[in-house]
Structure 1
Amino acid sequence: MMGQIVVGIDGSRDSEAALFWAAKEARLRGDRLVILYAVHTPVTAVPFGGASVLPPTAELKTYGENLLEVATSLVTTEDAPLEVATELVVQPPVPALLAASRTADLVVVGSRGLGAVGAAFLGSVSTRVASRAACPTIVIRPDAAEYRTTGPIVVGIDGPQSDAAFRFAVEEAQRRGTTVDAVHTYWLPVVAMPIEGTNITGTSETYARRTAEEHMDEFMARNQHVVPAQVKVTTQVLLNDSADALSQLSETAALVVVGSRGRGAFRGMLLGSVSQRLLHRANGPVAVVHNGDAADEPTDAERAQP
């Protein structure tokens, strides 16, 4: 049965990079590519009342139809056949993409859209979709959007919440005929008052590394059954910040995969700090994968917001 990859576009350079990446992934998988454009208008205040969303104008709908037509032509070639469908959705982008994620195998978005303010902030659409989509989300930065079939699939490991991310990494490695590099990082505990004449730093580092290695061994023992014989998995335990380590490895990776939240995050609300920082810094595409299988319902505010 043919799968489905959904890519959200808005006419920005970021979404163009996401479009081309999604098309290549769809060809590799033999999936249908669905190009989605959400038509929406800003919230307007009603005198002496609440807020409401005006219906899109005919010009906005025409713009969306033209954008989808151009996008289709960009990824459709006789030399590389691809089944393409388009969707013009009268809805803000976040709820539109969350709804599409329920039946998709993958959602692909650019890191920033037309509404982003400069390069300092990650687009709110990409972060909100990545944190709550029902399927894995790929976030593409236009300056690091190369589609690679070589290089390992790097996956960040942070306990049981990384199980789904690891399975996804293994599947992607099998498709590309490459390896998986599972990475777990640790940090040294802060020692407020070292005791004179003792090697507290050395002792704490030895303990921290041993603990981290035990966590990695436990993780691999629990997940070894999902690794087919043709996929080689290597492991790394690094003394480093997780986002920094994964960002460095992304320079030569085919893809970096992380879970949606790490330790300490509130479930269902935000991307974990590692995932969010990595989306800013990565030198290649990043996949955000949830352990759950259902998207959160959009809030009333999100239904109204762009």
Structure 2
Amino acid sequence: MSDQVLVGVDGSEASLAAVDVAVREARLRRTRLRIVHAFIWPLMRVPLGPAQDGPPEGGLRHQAEGILADARARAEALDPQLEIETELVTGEPLTVLSRWSREAGLVVVGSRGLGRFGALLIGSVAVHLAAHADCPVLIVRGRPDPAGPVLAAVDGSGVGAEALGFAFAEAAARRAPLTALHIAHPSTSWPDQEERVLSEALAGWREKYPDVELRSEVVEAHTRPALIEASREAQLLVVGARGRGGFAGLLVGSTSQAMIQHAHCPVVVVRHPSERTAEA
């Protein structure tokens, strides 16, 4: 795995918005940007060139090349100094982005794609990537507050620790405050115990990132609605793929799925290294 930023594009406005975010993330990481378009039509055995009586610039391959060219031009306009690579890859988006995530430090995807069922499709794309990508996945959605904090969901699990580490690093790179939020179920929580979970989760990170302005809080509430509400004032929400109390067979938990679909700001889903190793 490298630290390059990978973004998938399909020509939609949402994927171009993802390019904007990916450019910023690559700049923050001082790394290169790789823009990928999954070209599924060769698998369908359909003609890829222009129609016999059509314009020479027509055809599916030319259209795909145009999608990449537009995305590259947008990225170059935002940061002319950024190192950018474009790739036209035969395959369907889920498989292509999962495979190429092995060479990335972050994958960025838009909140909806082309087509009538775009909003539904992004749920499947984002959940699939969150469950199988070899690096964190950033889903560009909502209307982030650019002055808001990076919001991290803390649950005391191993994957929660990975997500918290990512959140601290992101807050430091953005020079943004960090809100570490531990949500305890009202009917099963013990205040002293929940405060200890939060304190232990933060141990070490404060020292590693002393310049990050940190606010930590324990809230008694139901996890999903509380995180969705808190995301209104955030510029980014970071969650673990599957936290404490999740079913072992689920690579993406119900909380992260809910955030992918309903958060008011972009969402990063982080997996634990042991989950990635188990799939290798």
TM-score range (shorter-chain normalised) is: 0.7 to 0.9
**Residue pair 1:132, 1:295 contacting (<8 A) in 2 also:** no
Change (3 A) 1:184 1:116: farther
Aligned residue among 33, 38, 54 for 2:44: 54
Change (3 A) 1:79 1:291: closer
Sequence identity percentage: 37
Deviates more, 1:238-247 or 1:32-41: 238-247
Please say if 1:257 is aligned against 2:238. Answer: yes
Equivalent position of 2:83 in the other structure = 83
| Structure 1 spans left out of the alignment, 5+ residues | 43-52, 190-203, 299-306
Aligned residue among 143, 149, 155 for 1:158: 155
Equivalent position of 1:211 in the other structure = 193
Deviations 1:215-265 (A, max 9, x none): 2122223x4366322123221101122222222222222211000012343
Show the 5 A alignment for 1:46-125: 53-55=43-45, 57-58=47-48, 59-77=59-77, 80-115=80-115, 117=117, 119=119, 122-125=122-125
Deviation at 1:168, TM superposition (A): 0.4
Please say if 1:243 is aligned against 2:233. Answer: no
Greater RCO (Cα-Cα under 8 Å, separation 6 or more)? 1
Deviation at 1:115, TM superposition (A): 4.7
Kindly tell me the number of residue pairs found equivalent between the two proteins: 267
Deviation at 1:165, TM superposition (A): 0.4
Greater gyration radius: 1
Deviation at 1:269, TM superposition (A): 4.0
**Residue pair 1:182, 1:235 contacting (<8 A) in 2 also:** yes
Equivalent position of 1:127 in the other structure = 127
Deviates more, 1:115-124 or 1:14-23: 115-124
Q: Write the distance in 2 (CA, Å) between the matches of 1:56 and 1:236.
A: 56
Q: Write the distance in 2 (CA, Å) between the matches of 1:187 and 1:78.
A: 44
Q: Write the distance in 1 (CA, Å) between the matches of 2:34 and 2:12.
A: 17
**Residue pair 2:241, 2:270 contacting (<8 A) in 1 also:** yes
Deviations 1:98-144 (A, max 9, x none): 11111101100112222562646753111101222111100012x43
Q: Write the distance in 1 (CA, Å) between the matches of 2:222 and 2:129.
A: 25
The one-letter amino acid of 1:183's match is L
Show the 5 A alignment for 1:133-152: 133-141=133-141, 143-144=142-143, 146=144, 148=146, 150-152=147-149
Q: Write the distance in 1 (CA, Å) between the matches of 2:12 and 2:262.
A: 20
The structure richer in helix per residue is: 2
Change (3 A) 1:98 1:56: farther
| Structure 2 spans left out of the alignment, 5+ residues | 49-58
**Residue pair 2:23, 2:78 contacting (<8 A) in 1 also:** no
Q: Tell me the C-alpha RMSD between the 2 structures.
A: 2.6
Show the 5 A alignment for 1:22-41: 22-41=22-41
Aligned residue among 254, 259, 266 for 1:285: 266
Show the 5 A alignment for 1:9-24: 9-24=9-24
Q: Write the distance in 2 (CA, Å) between the matches of 1:275 and 1:238.
A: 18
Show the 5 A alignment for 1:217-236: 217-221=199-203, 223-224=204-205, 227-236=208-217
